[in-house]
Amino acid sequence: MELAEIGEVLRRRLLKELMLSGVSIPDPATTFVEADVTVGQDTLLLPGSHLLVGTVVGSDCVIGPNTYLSGVRVGDRTQIRFSVAEQCEIGDDCKIGPFAHLRPGTRLHTKVKIGNFVETKAATLHENVSASHLTYLGDAEVGANTNIGAGTITCNYDGVQKHRTQIGAEAFVGSQSTLVAPVTIGDGAFIAAGSVITDDVGQDALALGRARQVTKDGWAKNRRLARQALPKVLPTDTSSTTPASSRPAPEKDVNP
């Protein structure tokens, strides 16, 4: 109990020093900053923010609410909301979250957008890359101005070792694409939505890796009609057809 009380005194002292240096902390009671953390002027730390050992945050940033940073270097004018980041670098003017997870080895250059339910690990994303929804980028490098569509994943692990995915600049990766590493996507390439890419894609090329759609007109209607034409089978009462010898004997009343 005494240790907790001492920790509370130290925490409030650190937060007071930050506020006096120009950091805005509207709710100190729910904001946690460790001793070696540095935060730039005009940055806003919203409730539920946890800034742990080794974290450096630039100026004019918005951190939180409910954000966990450990060993992270954050540039200026970056926003991180409802997210977790560990042992990574985030550049200037980035937008992270909500609900993103930046794992160790992630490096984001300026103006990168990481949206909801996006996870990165040992990945470098160059300037103005956008991965807005439901994406996993592991052991990968993505060139400047490339768009990563919703549901894209890099298949970096074959069960034995990790492999890298290289995506060039100005490329477009369509939604629900699966990139099976090791694989390289060239500058300006276009990956069609729903593709499974196992071979390298050259510069400015279009790659499609999915089954061809087959449409059968009227099939659903015919199926419904066929089901309606089937005779309805009523459940049968098997008690009348069961031989008496095989029927269970009635239980005796033990309390006459």
pLDDT number for residue 256: 43
Please state, in angstroms and rounded to a whole number, the distance separating the CA atoms of residues 222 and 229. Answer: 11
On the question of pLDDT at 51 being above 80, the answer is yes
DSSP 214-231: ---TTHHHHHHHHHHHSP
Per-residue confidence at 142, pLDDT binned at 50, 70, 90? very high
Q: Report pLDDT digits (tens) over 197-216.
A: 999 999 999 999 998 889 99
Report whether pLDDT(100) > 50: yes
pLDDT, position 240: 56
Which domains are present in the chain? 2-210 (2.160.10.10)
pLDDT single digits (tens) 74-95:
999 999 999 999 999 999 999 9
Q: Pairing state of beta strands 165-167 and 183-185?
A: parallel
- Cα separation, 39 vs 43, whole angstroms: 7
Question: pLDDT grade, residue 127 (50/70/90)?
Answer: very high
d(CA 25, CA 19): 7
Q: What is the rounded CA–CA span in Å between residue 157 and residue 164?
A: 9
Catalytically annotated residue among 50, 109, 133, 163: 133
Mean of all residue pLDDT scores within the chain: 92
Any catalytic annotation for residue 133?
yes
pTM: 0.85
Q: Is 200 left (phi over 0), alpha (psi -120 to 50) or beta?
A: beta
Per-residue model confidence (pLDDT) at position 253: 52
